[in-house]
Amino acid sequence: MFRKTTEYAFFNQHVHLLLVDYNRDDRKDLFLIADQEEDGTYILEYPGELFTEQIKELVTSIFFVTVQEDDREARYVLGAYFTANRKDYALYYDRDNENVKALVFFRAKELGNGEYELEQIEDQAEYQDVVEHIKDNYGHLLHIE
Protein backbone atom coordinates (compact mmCIF):
# COMPACT_ATOMS: atom_id res chain seq x y z
CA MET A 1 0.00 0.00 0.00
CA PHE A 2 1.29 3.40 -0.96
CA ARG A 3 0.19 6.53 0.88
CA LYS A 4 -1.39 9.42 -1.04
CA THR A 5 -1.59 7.44 -4.27
CA THR A 6 -4.20 5.80 -6.43
CA GLU A 7 -3.40 2.35 -7.77
CA TYR A 8 -4.73 0.93 -11.03
CA ALA A 9 -4.31 -2.75 -11.85
CA PHE A 10 -4.42 -3.64 -15.54
CA PHE A 11 -3.18 -6.12 -18.11
CA ASN A 12 -0.95 -5.50 -21.08
CA GLN A 13 -1.60 -8.61 -23.15
CA HIS A 14 -1.16 -11.30 -20.44
CA VAL A 15 1.14 -9.33 -18.14
CA HIS A 16 -0.57 -8.14 -14.94
CA LEU A 17 0.62 -4.66 -13.99
CA LEU A 18 -0.02 -1.96 -11.40
CA LEU A 19 0.20 1.74 -12.19
CA VAL A 20 0.76 3.86 -9.09
CA ASP A 21 -0.40 7.45 -9.55
CA TYR A 22 1.04 9.87 -6.99
CA ASN A 23 -1.85 12.25 -6.43
CA ARG A 24 0.13 15.37 -5.52
CA ASP A 25 2.82 14.99 -8.19
CA ASP A 26 2.77 14.25 -11.88
CA ARG A 27 4.53 10.95 -11.23
CA LYS A 28 3.40 7.48 -12.14
CA ASP A 29 5.29 4.28 -11.39
CA LEU A 30 4.73 0.89 -12.97
CA PHE A 31 5.13 -2.47 -11.26
CA LEU A 32 4.68 -6.07 -12.32
CA ILE A 33 2.15 -7.92 -10.16
CA ALA A 34 4.12 -11.07 -9.46
CA ASP A 35 1.61 -12.66 -7.09
CA GLN A 36 -1.32 -11.93 -4.82
CA GLU A 37 -1.73 -12.98 -1.20
CA GLU A 38 -5.00 -14.45 0.09
CA ASP A 39 -5.85 -11.13 1.77
CA GLY A 40 -5.57 -9.33 -1.59
CA THR A 41 -2.10 -7.87 -1.03
CA TYR A 42 -0.10 -7.65 -4.24
CA ILE A 43 3.49 -8.85 -4.41
CA LEU A 44 5.19 -6.36 -6.74
CA GLU A 45 8.37 -6.45 -8.80
CA TYR A 46 10.03 -3.65 -10.70
CA PRO A 47 9.87 -4.70 -14.38
CA GLY A 48 12.92 -2.71 -15.51
CA GLU A 49 13.33 0.70 -17.10
CA LEU A 50 13.00 -0.36 -20.76
CA PHE A 51 9.78 -2.32 -20.17
CA THR A 52 8.39 0.50 -18.01
CA GLU A 53 9.06 3.12 -20.69
CA GLN A 54 7.51 0.93 -23.41
CA ILE A 55 4.32 0.40 -21.40
CA LYS A 56 4.07 4.05 -20.36
CA GLU A 57 4.40 5.07 -24.00
CA LEU A 58 1.74 2.56 -24.99
CA VAL A 59 -0.87 3.60 -22.44
CA THR A 60 -0.19 7.31 -21.93
CA SER A 61 -2.78 8.46 -24.45
CA ILE A 62 -5.41 5.83 -23.68
CA PHE A 63 -5.06 4.92 -19.99
CA PHE A 64 -7.76 7.33 -18.80
CA VAL A 65 -10.71 8.12 -21.07
CA THR A 66 -13.94 10.04 -20.71
CA VAL A 67 -16.99 8.79 -22.58
CA GLN A 68 -20.23 10.71 -23.03
CA GLU A 69 -23.02 8.28 -22.25
CA ASP A 70 -26.76 8.92 -22.45
CA ASP A 71 -27.19 10.24 -18.93
CA ARG A 72 -23.65 11.05 -17.75
CA GLU A 73 -20.05 11.67 -18.57
CA ALA A 74 -18.27 8.46 -17.57
CA ARG A 75 -14.59 8.35 -16.63
CA TYR A 76 -12.91 5.04 -17.37
CA VAL A 77 -9.50 3.53 -16.67
CA LEU A 78 -7.72 0.87 -18.70
CA GLY A 79 -8.29 -2.66 -17.45
CA ALA A 80 -6.61 -4.53 -20.30
CA TYR A 81 -4.82 -3.84 -23.55
CA PHE A 82 -4.78 -6.91 -25.78
CA THR A 83 -4.61 -8.22 -29.31
CA ALA A 84 -7.30 -10.46 -30.80
CA ASN A 85 -7.47 -11.50 -34.46
CA ARG A 86 -4.47 -9.24 -35.23
CA LYS A 87 -6.25 -6.11 -33.96
CA ASP A 88 -5.58 -4.21 -30.75
CA TYR A 89 -8.29 -3.50 -28.17
CA ALA A 90 -8.60 -1.60 -24.91
CA LEU A 91 -10.95 -2.78 -22.14
CA TYR A 92 -12.05 -0.23 -19.52
CA TYR A 93 -13.76 -0.12 -16.13
CA ASP A 94 -15.44 2.81 -14.36
CA ARG A 95 -12.80 4.69 -12.36
CA ASP A 96 -15.20 6.67 -10.18
CA ASN A 97 -17.63 4.00 -9.09
CA GLU A 98 -16.41 0.51 -8.29
CA ASN A 99 -20.04 -0.64 -7.93
CA VAL A 100 -20.54 -0.23 -11.68
CA LYS A 101 -19.84 -3.69 -13.04
CA ALA A 102 -20.16 -2.87 -16.73
CA LEU A 103 -17.04 -2.88 -18.87
CA VAL A 104 -16.54 -1.05 -22.12
CA PHE A 105 -14.04 -1.77 -24.86
CA PHE A 106 -12.81 -0.19 -28.04
CA ARG A 107 -10.58 -1.05 -30.96
CA ALA A 108 -7.26 0.74 -30.42
CA LYS A 109 -5.58 2.07 -33.51
CA GLU A 110 -2.01 3.33 -33.31
CA LEU A 111 -1.57 6.63 -35.14
CA GLY A 112 2.20 6.23 -35.47
CA ASN A 113 3.23 9.09 -33.20
CA GLY A 114 2.79 7.43 -29.81
CA GLU A 115 -0.88 8.35 -29.82
CA TYR A 116 -3.82 5.99 -30.17
CA GLU A 117 -7.32 6.44 -31.47
CA LEU A 118 -10.15 4.48 -29.91
CA GLU A 119 -12.90 3.28 -32.23
CA GLN A 120 -16.27 1.79 -31.42
CA ILE A 121 -16.80 -1.71 -32.75
CA GLU A 122 -19.76 -1.65 -35.12
CA ASP A 123 -19.42 -5.13 -36.64
CA GLN A 124 -21.36 -7.66 -34.52
CA ALA A 125 -19.09 -10.59 -35.42
CA GLU A 126 -15.99 -8.64 -34.37
CA TYR A 127 -17.78 -7.51 -31.20
CA GLN A 128 -18.65 -11.13 -30.31
CA ASP A 129 -15.08 -12.26 -31.00
CA VAL A 130 -13.76 -9.62 -28.58
CA VAL A 131 -16.29 -10.60 -25.92
CA GLU A 132 -15.22 -14.24 -26.23
CA HIS A 133 -11.55 -13.23 -26.02
CA ILE A 134 -12.25 -11.26 -22.84
CA LYS A 135 -14.15 -14.18 -21.30
CA ASP A 136 -11.43 -16.67 -22.22
CA ASN A 137 -8.49 -14.56 -21.04
CA TYR A 138 -9.86 -12.44 -18.20
CA GLY A 139 -13.11 -14.18 -17.27
CA HIS A 140 -11.62 -15.69 -14.12
CA LEU A 141 -11.25 -12.13 -12.78
CA LEU A 142 -14.70 -10.94 -13.78
CA HIS A 143 -18.19 -11.45 -12.42
CA ILE A 144 -20.00 -12.25 -15.67
CA GLU A 145 -23.78 -12.33 -15.66
Q: Per residue in 1-11, pLDDT tens? A: 677 888 898 99
Indicate whether 48 and 89 sit together in one domain. no
Whether residue 70 is found in the same domain as residue 137: yes
* φ/ψ (deg, to 5) at 130: -65, -40
Amino acid code (one letter) for 35: D
**Residue 91 and residue 35 share a domain:** no
C-alpha closest to that of 59 among 8, 13, 17, 115: 115
Number of domains in the chain: 2
CA angle 12, 19, 131 (to 5 degrees): 35
15-69 confidence digits (pLDDT tens)? 999 999 887 888 889 999 999 899 988 899 999 999 998 888 887 889 999 988 7
Same domain, 73 and 101: yes
Three-class DSSP category at 66: strand
Q: Based on the domain organization, do 101 and 75 belong to the same domain?
A: yes
Residues in CB range of 57: below 8 A, 6 or more apart: 114
- Same domain, residue pair 82 and 120: yes
pTM: 0.85
- Are residues 68 and 113 part of one domain? yes
Q: How confident is the model at residue 118 (pLDDT cuts 50, 70, 90)?
A: very high
Cα gap 142→1, rounded to integer Å: 23
Using DSSP's 3-state secondary structure scheme, residue 139 falls into: helix
Range of the domain at 79: 64-141
Domain identity same for 41 and 72:
no
The reply to whether 14 and 71 lie within a common domain is no
